[in-house]
């Protein structure tokens, strides 16, 4: 256990990581003066530390992290799979690392070729015609996709008014639609957890701009009616958005483009093994059919007789959606990953992800209550229903798992399941790890019957116990020191002075 102060609280005035010789420059060299607004009169307020202090500080902090590199991380919907080290090697190659987005095309042919080929590989795997790599996250990809839907309808004279979204959709879907000026109409899911064509048809009219379907849905189930639903929506002039964030369940087995998608986004930081978390750079490429290609954001990577070039020449484009061309380092990692696996390897990746999820589903079925008993895709969803008589809730199970060295699953999501635990093992994990996880769940269920208080007060082995997570996210207090070396109190929330005026967040 560490009690790590802030960088600002350690060190000593004048302490430095490197000491440069002061007489390095011949006297005749005159350094240009700084622009006055760039000059800093003194270093006051900045931490002054030795290199070793800096290294120790960050190494210690890194050891507090829970990460895929250290522990099993079955966070449903997030696909916390292994990110192969070779991806990092490729991203760090000098040419990849130092390429600058403002260099002229003739100096960046390799980078442009990589982007062009990655677009083609994603188009192939999704069954779509054209791709933009620019969006920085899945949610931004959705925004870009729905914006193109709107541009398409506007081009046809009427932007239309509504987007149909099933109750089992990911929470970002309605948010993206509303940001693009649409009203969302919820389509209920049936008792089998699926969206049914009759429920879609009952809500379908000429004001429907699109149906937006998370497939597989947040219950981990493949939407079996998807093609019929797509046909019905197309027949009324609407478009079909498939949320492909969870392509890990589909790649190499089926393609959204073949079941009627006009537009979908893909999360490279899920399916294609680029790191996520920490708010770090992600990538949410958007794939479209030909009908939407003219609306793709600029710049586009084009192949010409003289090599590749970036083009802004797209009169119907929705424009730029971020600076430059996306998070290039992520594109290199995903490209490396896809080449490493090859077409067959990508199909095996999917099959094993689905196999692992179903293995856990069957192992946990006698212990927890399944939300749906049908075979699942890449993840399975349980509830705390079977523990109701013990008073132990999903939150208590999730917290106790930390004591056994496992990251908690996604909890209380999807919203259509009360007390949901959404478990996604991914294909990376060995049978031994899955068995160990199932063993921990078995022990927790036994504890719930014998000593529920133990679970209500878990976790017991972590630095802090239960934080007010909503407030900690919204009003972070970054400086805190426990009174004793080992803190057991939720210090983050306790340091807040005023009550939070904002409503509680839906954390999904
Ligand atoms: C993760 C996810 C998103 C959002 O992606 P971000 O990169 O987190 O913005 C959207 N839809 C589904 C189904 C997801 O699983």
Domain identity same for 330 and 216: yes
pLDDT above 60 for 495: no
Nearest CA to ligand 1 atom 15: 77
* Long-range interactions of 188-194: CB distance < 8 A, separation 24+: 189/217, 189/219, 189/416, 192/221, 192/372, 192/374, 193/168, 193/217, 193/219, 193/221, 193/371, 193/372, 193/374, 193/416, 194/221, 194/223, 194/224, 194/225
Which residue puts its alpha carbon closest to atom 8 of ligand 1? 138
If asked whether residues 375 and 410 sit together in one domain, one would say yes
Enclosing domain of residue 423: 352-456
Q: Which atom of ligand 1 is nearest to the CA of 172?
A: 10
Alpha helices in 365-468 (DSSP H): 394-403, 431-450, 452-456
How confident is the model over 358-372, as pLDDT tens digits?
999 999 999 999 999
**Are 319 and 410 in the same domain?**
no
Of 284, 235, 230, 287, the residue nearest 263 (C-alpha): 287
| In a domain? residue 39 | no
Instruction: Find the CATH number of the domain harbouring 318.
Output: 3.40.640.10
Q: Whole-number mean pLDDT of the chain?
A: 90
pLDDT confidence of 280, banded at 50, 70, 90?
low
Domain boundary among 418, 433, 456: 456
The predicted pLDDT at position 62 comes to: 84
Q: Radius of gyration (Cα) for the chain, nearest Å?
A: 26
Q: Would 164 be classed as within a structural domain?
A: yes
Whether residue 20 is predicted with pLDDT greater than 80 in this model: the reply is: no
In the chain, how many domains are there?
2
pLDDT at residue 478, rounded to an integer: 67
208 with 233, same domain: the answer is: yes
Q: How far is the CA of 245 from the centre of ligand 1 (A)?
A: 5
Over residues 301-316, the pLDDT tens digits come to 999 999 999 999 999 9
Do residues 198 and 320 both lie within one domain? yes
Ligand 1 centre to CA of 462 (Å) is 28
User: Has residue 143 been placed in a domain?
Assistant: yes
- Looking at residue 119, its pLDDT comes to 98
* Residue 229: predicted pLDDT: 98
Alpha helix (H) ranges present in 74-130?
Answer: 85-92, 94-98, 109-126
Question: Phi and psi of 58, rounded to 5°?
Answer: -75, -30
Identify the CA nearest to 413 among candidates 280, 290, 507: 507
Q: Is residue 332 part of a domain?
A: yes
pLDDT of residue 42: 76
The partner residues of 382 in beta bridges, in order of sequence, read 370, 421
Ligand 1 close to Cβ of residue 336 (< 6 A): no
CATH of the domain at 365: 3.90.1150.10
What pLDDT band is residue 278 in, cutting at 50, 70 and 90? low
The reply to whether 42 falls in a domain is: no
Q: What is the mean pLDDT of residues 134-144?
A: 96
Residue 148 predicted with pLDDT over 80: yes
Whether residue 475 lies inside any domain: the answer is: no
In this prediction, residue 31 carries a pLDDT of 75
In this model, does residue 485 exceed pLDDT 50?
A: no
Q: Which residues pair with 75 in a beta bridge?
A: 423
Confidence of residue 286 (pLDDT cuts 50, 70, 90): very high
Token readout for 247 is 């392509």
Beta bridge partners of 303: 308
The number of angstroms, rounded, from the C-alpha of 332 to the middle of its chain's C-alpha atoms is 17
């Amino acid at each position: 256990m560490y009690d790590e102060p802030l960088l600002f609280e350690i060190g000593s005035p004048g302490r430095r990581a490197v000491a440069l010789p002061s007489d390095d420059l011949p006297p005749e060299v005159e350094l240009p003066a700084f622009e006055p607004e760039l000059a800093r009169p003194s270093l006051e307020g900045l931490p002054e530390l030795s290199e070793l202090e800096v290294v120790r500080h960050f190494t210690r902090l890194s050891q507090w992290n829970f990460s895929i590199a250290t522990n099993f991380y079955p966070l449903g919907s997030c696909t916390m799979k292994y990110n192969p080290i070779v991806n990092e090697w490729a991203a760090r190659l000098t040419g990849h690392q130092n390429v600058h987005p403002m260099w002229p095309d003739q100096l960046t042919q390799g980078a442009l070729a990589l982007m062009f080929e990655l677009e083609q590989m994603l188009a192939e795997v999704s069954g779509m015609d054209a791709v933009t790599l620019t969006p920085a996250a899945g949610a931004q990809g959705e925004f870009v996709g729905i914006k193109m839907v709107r541009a398409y309808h506007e081009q046809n004279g009427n932007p239309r008014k509504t987007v149909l979204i099933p109750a089992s959709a990911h929470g970002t879907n309605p948010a993206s639609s509303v940001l693009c000026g649409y009203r969302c109409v919820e389509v209920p899911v049936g008792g089998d957890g699926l969206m049914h064509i009759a429920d879609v048809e009952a809500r379908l009219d000429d004001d429907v701009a699109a149906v937006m379907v998370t497939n597989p849905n947040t219950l981990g189930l493949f939407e079996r009616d998807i093609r019929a639903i797509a046909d019905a929506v197309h027949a009324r002039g609407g478009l079909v958005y498939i949320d492909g964030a969870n392509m890990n369940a589909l790649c190499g087995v089926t393609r959204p483009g073949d079941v009627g998608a006009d537009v979908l986004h893909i999360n490279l930081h899920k399916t294609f093994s680029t790191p996520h978390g920490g708010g770090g750079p992600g990538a949410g490429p958007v794939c479209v059919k030909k009908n939407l290609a003219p609306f793709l954001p600029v710049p586009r990577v084009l192949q010409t007789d003289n090599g590749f070039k970036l083009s802004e020449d797209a009169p119907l484009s929705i424009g730029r959606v971020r600076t430059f061309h996306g998070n290039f380092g992520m594109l290199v990692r995903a490209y490396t990953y896809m080449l490493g696996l090859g077409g067959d390897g990508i199909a095996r990746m999917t099959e094993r992800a689905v196999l692992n999820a179903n293995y856990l589903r069957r192992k946990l079925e006698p212990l927890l209550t399944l939300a749906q008993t049908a075979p699942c895709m890449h993840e399975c969803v349980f509830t705390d229903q079977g523990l109701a008589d013990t008073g132990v809730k999903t939150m208590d199970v999730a917290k106790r798992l930390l004591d056994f060295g496992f990251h908690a699953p996604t909890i209380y999501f999807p919203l259509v399941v009360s007390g949901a635990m959404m478990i996604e093992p991914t294909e990376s994990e060995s049978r031994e790890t899955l068995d160990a996880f199932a063993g921990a769940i078995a022990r927790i269920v036994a504890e719930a019957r014998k000593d529920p208080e133990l679970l209500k007060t878990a976790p017991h082995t972590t630095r802090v116990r239960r934080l007010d997570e909503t407030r900690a996210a919204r009003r972070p207090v970054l400086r805190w020191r426990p009174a004793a070396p080992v803190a057991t109190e939720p210090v983050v929330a306790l340091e807040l002075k005023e009550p939070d005026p904002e409503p509680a967040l839906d954390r999904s």
